[in-house]
Amino acid sequence: MPEHKPIYILAIESSCDDTSAAILMNDKVLSNVVATQAIHEEYGGVVPELASRAHQQNIVPVVDQAIARANIDKKQLSAIAFTRGPGLMGSLLVGTSFAKSLSLGLDIPLIEVNHMKAHILAHFIADEKMTSPKFPFLALTISGGHTQVVQVNDYFEMKIIGQTLDDAVGEAFDKSAKILGLPYPGGPLIDKHAANGNPHKFEFPIPKVKDLDFSFSGLKTNILYFIQRNTKDNPNFINENLEDICASIQDTIIEILMRKLKKAVKQTGIKEVAIGGGVSANSGIRKALTDAQEKYGWKTYIPQFQYCTDNAAMIGIVGYHKFKNEIFSKQDITAQARYVIS
Ligand code: KG4
Ligand code: ZN
Cα 255 from Cα 297, distance rounded (Å): 18
Binding residues for Fe cation: 115, 119, 310
Beta pairing partners, 274: 139, 301
Does residue 147 sit in the same domain as residue 257?
yes
C-alpha of residue 185 to centroid of ligand 1, in Å: 8
163-190 mean pLDDT: 96
* 188 domain-assigned: yes
Work out the pLDDT band at 37, boundaries 50, 70, 90. confident
Average pLDDT over residues 274-298: 98
Q: What is the pLDDT of residues 11-31, one digit of tens each?
A: 999 999 999 999 999 999 999
Please tell me the distance from the alpha carbon of residue 54 to that of residue 94, in angstroms, as a whole number: 10
Whether residue 329 is contained in a domain is answered as no
Same domain, 106 and 182: no
Q: Within a domain: residue 2?
A: no
pTM of the model: 0.95
Helix, strand, coil distribution of the chain in percent, nearest 5: 50, 20, 30
Three-class HEC string of 85-142: ECCCHHHHHHHHHHHHHHHHHHCCCEEEEEHHHHHHHHHHCECCCCCCCCCCEEEEEE
Residue 276, CA distances (Å) to 49, 66, 120, 181 in order: 27, 23, 6, 27
268-300: burial string, b at 16+ Cβ within 10 Å, e else? eebebbbbbbbbbbbebbbebbeebeeeeebeb
Q: Is residue 180 part of a domain?
A: yes
Question: Are both 49 and 77 inside the same structural domain?
Answer: yes
DSSP lists the bridge partners of residue 186 as none
Residue nearest atom 13 in ligand 1 by C-alpha distance: 187
If we measure between CA atoms, which residue out of 281, 285, 277 comes closest to residue 254? Answer: 285
What are the pLDDT digits (tens) for 193-217? 999 999 999 999 999 999 999 999 9
Determine what percent of the chain is predicted with pLDDT higher than 70. 99
Q: Which residues line ligand 1 (CB under 6 A)?
A: 16, 143-145, 170, 173-174, 185, 187-188, 191, 277-279, 281-282, 309-310
Q: Is residue 280 part of a domain?
A: yes
Instruction: List residues forming the annotated binding site for substrate.
Output: 141-145, 174, 187, 191, 282
Domain extent, residue 172, equals 131-302
β-bridge partners, 160? 150
Do 153 and 97 share a domain, yes or no?
no
Residues 197 and 297 in one domain: yes
Q: Minimal CA–CA distance to 296: which of 268, 261, 267?
A: 261
- Give the closest ligand to the alpha carbon of residue 187: 1
CATH of the domain at 278: 3.30.420.40
Please check whether residues 238 and 166 belong to one and the same domain: yes
Distance 143 CA to ligand 1 centre (A): 5
Bridge-based pairing state of the strands 137-142 and 28-36: unpaired
Are 85 and 165 within one domain? no
Same domain, yes or no: 43 and 90? yes
Sort strands 8-13 and 79-85 into parallel, antiparallel or unpaired.
parallel
Q: In which element (H, E) is residue 172 found?
A: helix 169-179
Same domain, 105 and 198: no
Q: Is the peptide bond before 6 cis (omega within 30 degrees of 0)?
A: no
pLDDT at 2 over 90: no
Q: Say if 264 falls within a structural domain.
A: yes
Give the largest Cα separation in the chain, rounded: 76
| Contact (CB, 8 A) for 169 and 306 | no
User: Do 236 and 170 fall into the same domain?
Assistant: yes
How many domains are there within the chain? 2
Residue ID of nearest Cα to ligand 1 atom 10 = 144
Quote the CA–CA distance of 93 and 63 in Å, as a whole number. Answer: 16
Q: How far is the CA of 167 from the centre of ligand 2 (A)?
A: 15
Mean pLDDT of 285-301: 98
pLDDT for 104 beyond 70: yes
Q: Is residue 288 part of a domain?
A: yes
Based on the fold, state whether residues 213 and 275 are members of the same structural domain.
Answer: yes
Tell me which residue has its CA closest to atom 20 in ligand 1. 188
Domain membership of residue 337 (yes or no) is no
pLDDT at 40: 87
Count how many residues are written for the chain. 342
pLDDT at 179 over 80: yes
Model confidence at 44, pLDDT cuts 50, 70, 90, reads: confident
| Gyration radius of the chain's alpha carbons | 20
* Ligand showing the shortest atom-to-Cα distance for residue 87: 1
pLDDT at 309 over 60: yes
User: Any idea which of 10-19, 38-47, 125-134, 293-302 has the lowest mean pLDDT?
Assistant: 38-47
Give the pLDDT confidence of 52-73 residue by residue, as tens digits. 999 999 999 999 999 999 999 9
Pocket mutation for ligand 1, best pick of 17, 279, 338 (most atoms within 8 Å of C-beta): 279
Residues 164 and 96 in one domain: no
List residues bridging with 151 in a β-sheet. Answer: 138, 159
